[in-house]
Amino acid sequence: MNIIVAVDENWGIGRKGELLVRIPNDQKFFREETTGKVVVLGRKTMETFPGGRPLKNRKNIILSTKPDYKVEGAEVVHSIEELLEALKEYPSEDVYIIGGDSVYKQMLPYCDVAHVTKIDMAYDADAYHPNLDKDPEWEITADSDEQVYFDLTYHFVKYERKKDV
């Protein structure tokens, strides 16, 4: 399974239910990576989407502890066990964990690849992704050239779980 996330220098991913910053090239990369695939997200992340609607051209699976939570056009599961069972239908490489912070933390042990847009800026975040640079199970296997969007610099970094850990 894959993780796809944009993080700041402190691995912050959001504040008050919103992304820290929107970078068009990052959004384009997200679309290219996930279109036609399965995206896994939490209820709060779903509610930040335009109109609270699922992402188009993807299978949306929402993890929510609310037993009566439903979203038209998406599958809702209520536990990690139920989620893992639902994901058995799909090739692991076609599954992308897209947030938020609690879903990233819960699903990290099941993922082998992380596509991380690392933004060279520290924001006032209140939601974080686990720091893969400090996790001995993960290593960087690809790093893009420096990208620039106005005054922001960022990199597309690919992490993979080490095979021999």
pLDDT digits (tens, 9 = 90+) for 39-69: 999 999 999 999 999 999 999 999 999 999 9
pLDDT digits (tens, 9 = 90+) for 64-122: 999 999 999 999 999 999 999 999 999 999 999 999 999 999 999 999 999 999 999 99
- Which residues, 6 or more positions from 136, have their beta carbon under 8 angstroms from its beta carbon? 162, 165
The answer, as to whether pTM is greater than 0.85, is yes
Domain extent for 132: 2-161
- State how far the Cα of 148 lies from the Cα of 126, in Å rounded to an integer: 25
Bridging pattern class, strands 138-143 and 95-99 = unpaired
Query: Which residues, in sequence order, are bridge partners of residue 39?
Result: 60, 96
Residue with tokens 């099941």: 110
- Number of domains into which the chain is organized: 1
Supply 141's token pair.
Answer: 């296997």
Per-residue confidence band for 164, with pLDDT thresholds at 50, 70 and 90: confident
Rg of the chain, C-alpha, whole Å: 15
- State how far the Cα of 139 lies from the Cα of 134, in Å rounded to an integer: 10
Are 42 and 104 in contact by the 8 Å Cβ rule? The answer is no
How far does Cα 36 stand from its chain's mean position?
Answer: 16
What CATH number does the domain containing 68 carry? 3.40.430.10
Task: Say how many residues make up the chain.
Answer: 165
- State how far the Cα of 107 lies from the Cα of 101, in Å rounded to an integer: 10
Judge whether residue 165 has pLDDT over 60.
no
Edge to edge, the sheet with strand 12-15 lists 18-19, 12-15, 127-128
